[in-house]
Structure 1
Amino acid sequence: MYHSAFLLSGLVAISATADAALTRVTDFGTNPSNLQMNIYVPTKVATKPAIIVAMHGCGGTGEQYAQGTKYNSLSDTKGFITIFPSTKKDSNCWEVNTVKGLSRDAGGDNQGLVSMIKYTIQKYSADPTKVFATGSSSGCMMTNVLMATYPDVIAAGSCYSGVAAGCLAGSPGASPGSADPKCANGQNIKTQDQWVAQAKAMYPGYNGTYPRMATWHGTADTLVKIPNLGEQLKEWSGLHGVTFTKNVTNTPQSGYTQMVYGDGTKLVGYSAQGVGHTVPVHEAEDLKWFDL
């Protein structure tokens, strides 16, 4: 249970906007890897609001990701709450390579992120069935990991230019400068069964449903190469038990191809022709995917 003193922990304004401010939460519970929590709460919060956890790429911060995306202005309209966390280790890359980082409640970044979610649910009476994850590059990698390690917490994810959960397992680091380049170069190719087994090992014994996934990748990405899109789609189609159905060209815009799995409600991929690292965030499409 969360004590009242915990819920009243100090909030420090970081940067003001016209309607509300991004604030720093200094005590949100278990935080084994010393993450920073930044939260945007709109002036008019919806009843039982949804929560979006939006994660920066390597070298970035939560504050920068808040400023570089449109989630806050959309939040002012729709009333959801956005968490913009920051990690300060390994060139500000998320922990998606270690045993503890790829396990549940084991002291990784993912455990701290879930603490932020639990704090927000408690403090703002948010809807625990409407918690969503998104991110770019390393943030997309953590979206995959968060969905695999806490599938009972995250309802759906949408991410940009990342890799499958477990792709960097065992690598010495999570940053491009310290990681095993095999994963980023698109050379970590596995069967669907292998990816599924790796993801399921992150939360052994879990028999429930997995979060819905929409994942985006540019064909001209030279940092995290395009084969990683196919590996993510293998992993999540296996976890959902769906198979490829069709391609929809020029969706949601010219040069983008939507890859539909099953009836399109559990898994979709987007290939962006000629786009490098990273695919621009499509916030409106994210909100559609999250049913917000």
Structure 2
Amino acid sequence: MASSSCTLTLPTVEDAGTFTYNVDVNKVFATGTSSGAMMTNVLAGAYPDLIRAGAPFAGVPYGCFAGDSAWNNQCSTGQLIKTAQQWGDQARSGYPGYTGPRPKMQLWHGSVDTGLHTQNFYEEIKQWTNVFGVSQTPTSTTKNWPLLNWTRTDYGPNVQAIIANGVDHDIPVQATQVIRWMGLDK
């Protein structure tokens, strides 16, 4: 499992919320932009039993920033290229031996992101399609969704990827679409 103090706090917070506030454990999700997107991927890999879905905006794959340094230029510039199997194994290593359901993932990224280069988006797609055992070939593609010049690709029911053409690292969060995809509007 994850070893940082931030990620080790999640089970404690969820347990407290469940017992104190009667939180529905089937409605625990993660989302964030940039470092929050990185944490979303970490939570999906390290705590697949605690979150039901993740929606990282402008993030990097689980394990891309692994190491002792606070910053990883190879990762941030999109130069850390792995096979789908390697990325999938990296995500599964967050909770060794776990065989239960994994959180579905909705990945968002701008096509001209130079903060966390766009190649990371494609590496995330490789990672999560491998985790779910599905092809990297989309089952469907929808252009101009949810905005003009954005494209959504679906890889079965558990992996969805949205590339925002012409958008940089400051990708506008699409909360309504995330809420719908996570099923929180029902």
Contact 1:261 1:267 in 2 (8 A): yes
For 2:152, what is the secondary structure of its paired residue? strand
Relative to the length of structure 1, the TM-score reads 0.60
User: Percent of counterpart pairs with the same letter?
Assistant: 40
Q: Which residue of 1 aligns with 2:69?
A: 172
Contact 2:74 2:80 in 1 (8 A): yes
Q: Which amino acid aligns with 1:268?
A: Q
Asked if residue 214 in structure 1 is aligned to residue 106 in structure 2, the reply is yes
Q: Which amino acid aligns with 2:97?
A: G
Q: Which runs of 4+ in 1 moved over 3 A?
A: none
Query: Structure 2 unaligned runs (5+)?
Result: none
Q: Which amino acid aligns with 2:150?
A: Y
For 2:10, what is the secondary structure of its paired residue? helix
Contact 1:258 1:271 in 2 (8 A): yes
Q: Deviations over 1:132-186 (max 9, x none)?
A: 000010000000000100000000011200000000111511xxxxx12110100
Relative to the length of structure 2, the TM-score reads 0.94
Residue among 71, 84, 91 paired with 1:199 = 91
Distance 1:107 1:214 in 2: 24
Distance 2:121 2:91 in 1: 16
Q: Which amino acid aligns with 2:133?
A: G
Residue among 30, 38, 56 paired with 1:141 = 38
Q: Which residue of 2 aligns with 1:86?
A: none
Asked if residue 281 in structure 1 is aligned to residue 173 in structure 2, the reply is yes
Deviation at 1:107? Answer: 4.6
Contact 2:45 2:93 in 1 (8 A): no
For 1:144, what is the secondary structure of its paired residue? helix
Distance 1:249 1:107 in 2: 39
Distance 2:13 2:63 in 1: 23
Q: Which amino acid aligns with 2:27?
A: K
Residues 124-273 of structure 1 correspond to what in structure 2 (within 5 A)? 124-173=21-70, 179-243=71-135, 244-262=138-156, 265-273=157-165
Q: Which has the higher helix share?
A: 2
Distance 2:49 2:90 in 1: 17
Q: Deviations over 1:63-90 (max 9, x none)?
A: xxxxxxxxxxxxxxxxxxxxxxxxxxxx
Instruction: Return 137-146 or 116-125, whichever deviates more.
Output: 116-125
For 1:134, what is the secondary structure of its paired residue? strand
Query: Structure 1 unaligned runs (5+)?
Result: 1-102, 174-178
Distance 2:175 2:47 in 1: 23
Q: Aligned-pair RMSD on alpha carbons?
A: 1.2
For 1:258, what is the secondary structure of its paired residue? strand
Distance 2:120 2:16 in 1: 33
Q: Which amino acid aligns with 1:231?
A: E
Q: Which amino acid aligns with 1:148?
A: G
Contact 1:209 1:240 in 2 (8 A): no
Between the two proteins, the alignment pairs up a number of residues equal to: 182
